[in-house]
A = this chain, B = another copy of it.
Amino acid sequence: MQQIFKHYPIQVIGQEGFAVLTERQRMILNAIVDDYIRSAEPVGSRSISKRGGVGFSPATIRNEMADLEELGFLEQPHTSAGRIPSTKGYRYYVDHLVKLEEVNEGDLQRVRSFFAKKMNQMEQIIQHAAMILSNMTNYTSIVLGPETFDNSLKAFQLVPLNDSSAVAIIVTNTGHVENRTISIPPDFDMSELEKVVNILNTKLAGVPLHRLQSKLFTEVGEELGRYVDHCEMIMDSLGKALSSESEHRVFLSGASNMLTQPEFKDVDKVKTIMDWLDETPVLMKAFTSLPSGIQVRIGSENDHDAIHTCSLITASYSIDGKSLGTIGLLGPTRMDYGKVISLMDVLSKDMAVLLGRWYK
């Protein structure tokens, strides 16, 4: 067994920009990350040596650990403490070493039975998905609802409430419903309102939401003017109502799970993270323009300082290659990557299927 591990010179750089690690170094790194993920305590050479399947003395392990530290894969909180993985170490682990666990039968059951439930509101689905994810992982989940950007108008309705206001309702081809209260001019009567709605429906059906506003003014405005007086005010209200439309909704769940992690027993640290979570715009920024599939951002790889001690795993759920939204999971860098990644894979795919049915 011992011959397997040759002690190669270590500064050779591989194609990923990483030094090529010997098989033994990989094994040790793997052991350290696994241990640390479990215990949250610096890992010493002795505990690695005592592991089953490791045939080396603590001294040998120490030598390798010193090398791995020099290469930047490990860190030492202080002299005379064990080693913990650095961001680079986690990165290597995630890229090359992590064994994706099969999602355990119980968890799989829970996900499946969740998605089997019939839910009649998209918001409900997303909210519950966020909840189930945070429950199963004990981390904090962040789910971004489906983007309405690519959606198109299915139907438009205007329901008068009283003399001066009405509710404008927009239904998209995906079944998503947006509504705004708008004010209508005082000398505007029912029959005219009906005309307006009819024109809007015939002219705007099928138009993508993001082009709705411009279309409203260019093509429809003219024609509308022919039939209806005082339409400027209505147009104005509608325009305003539509412009604020593309607000994403962010669903958070299990933020308090952060408090259970030993690395966050310091209240101040948690505070900065919580504040970050509260700022929806920043959150959105971290989520948008992510490549599809599962992305792992470890520690300092994250753009925002507040979560430099966290890892953020995101999985965009998509259908026919079109991205619908994003599931995110925030935890300490010391995350159970093996379990979480595969779980999110399952969840995002199931979610895509479920929402896909919706969209058809």
Contacts and interface: CB of A to CB of B under 8 A. Distances in A.
A interface majority secondary structure: mixed
Interface stretch (A159-167, A309-317, A327-335): A159-167
Contacts of A112: none
B274 A255 contact: yes
Given A169-B157, A360-B162, A120 B240 contact: yes
Contact of A154 (B121, B159, B173, B267): B159
Contact of A256 (B253, B265, B275, B360): B275
For this chain, the copies found in one complex come to 2
A244 interface: yes
Given A159-B171, A255-B255, A274-B255, A121 B267 contact: no
A67 to B, nearest CB: 37
A181 interface: yes
Contact of A175 (B120, B161, B264, B277): B161
Contacts of A255: 255, 274, 278
B271 A121 contact: no
Interface of A: 120-122, 154-155, 157, 159, 161-162, 165, 167, 169, 171, 173-175, 177, 179-182, 240-241, 244, 253-256, 259-260, 264-265, 267-268, 270-271, 274-275, 277-278, 358, 360
Given A161-B173, A181-B358, 8 more contacts: A120-B181, A120-B241, A120-B244, A121-B180, A157-B157, A159-B171, A259-B267, A259-B268
